[in-house]
Amino acid sequence: MKYFIYRLLILFCLQLLLFSSVKTTPNSVNKIQSTPNSVNKIQSIPILIDVRLLNDGPGSLLKIPLEVDYISGVVHINGQSVTNGAVTRLHMQVTAESDKAGHKYQSNVQIQVRILVTQSLPISNQTKRTTAVEEEVVEVDSYSVQQLEVVQVVIYSDRAGKLVRSISTKLPLEKSKIHSIPKRHDKHIYVRPKMKEIESFPKSHSG
């Protein structure tokens, strides 16, 4: 009789252990699955600005590349944050592309580029914020330049400052807002170069 009671107690204890393990396992799995992702992805918006050097020669046509980033409601140009509502003039180095006699060349150039960022906050019945970015290249390697068109980037973001979508359009320089703002009010920022020195070299040959 005692042996039978001992067996019942052992079976009862085993059932309790099995039940407790089954009950706690789903909770631990759900806790791991609900861990938030801490990786923030940043979407860059590449743009190319066509300018012509106004030097002693016929003037080379250059393509100036810039990258626009929208991070937590702040616009960055090539990694440098710019002020909203004012013109920021960036002194920086970029890798420009030129076309001479059918050859395409790449070279590091020092530029001065004006950046204007304007934002419109959402009204009560809207969920998106609109941010417009305009640029105007002033100098390339101490030479004045001629720029006919401005690439305007319009960014739509949510209330938390997360980029939803963007649209890039071109408009004549004289019709842009940045061109109408006097240059004497520019805020100058000197950006330290972050690229390796490269030599000009032909990329392709047409014809």
Domain count along the chain = 2
Rounded (10°) CA dihedral 132, 181, 192, 95: 70
Which of 14-18, 29-33, 119-123 reaches the highest mean pLDDT?
Answer: 119-123
Token pair recorded at residue 206: 């047409």
Asked whether residue 180 falls in the same domain as residue 109, the answer is: yes
Give the count of beta carbons closer than 10 Å to the beta carbon of residue 31.
9
Helix, strand, coil share (%) of the chain residues, nearest 5: 20, 50, 30
Asked whether residue 104 falls in the same domain as residue 3, the answer is: no
- Structural domain boundaries enclosing 19: 1-33
| Among 131, 163, 130, 136, CA closest to 50 | 136
Please tell me the predicted confidence (pLDDT) of residue 127: 67
**Statement: residue 97 has pLDDT above 70:** yes
**pTM (2 d.p.):** 0.70
If one compares 162 and 61, the residue with the highest pLDDT of the two is 61
Asked whether residue 58 falls in the same domain as residue 117, the answer is: yes
Please tell me the predicted confidence (pLDDT) of residue 5: 57
Asked whether residue 22 falls in the same domain as residue 53, the answer is: no
Asked whether residue 102 falls in the same domain as residue 130, the answer is: yes
Round to whole Å and give the CA distance between 143 and 56.
10
Asked whether residue 92 falls in the same domain as residue 189, the answer is: yes
Asked whether residue 28 falls in the same domain as residue 106, the answer is: no
Asked whether residue 163 falls in the same domain as residue 104, the answer is: yes
| Within a domain: 143 | yes
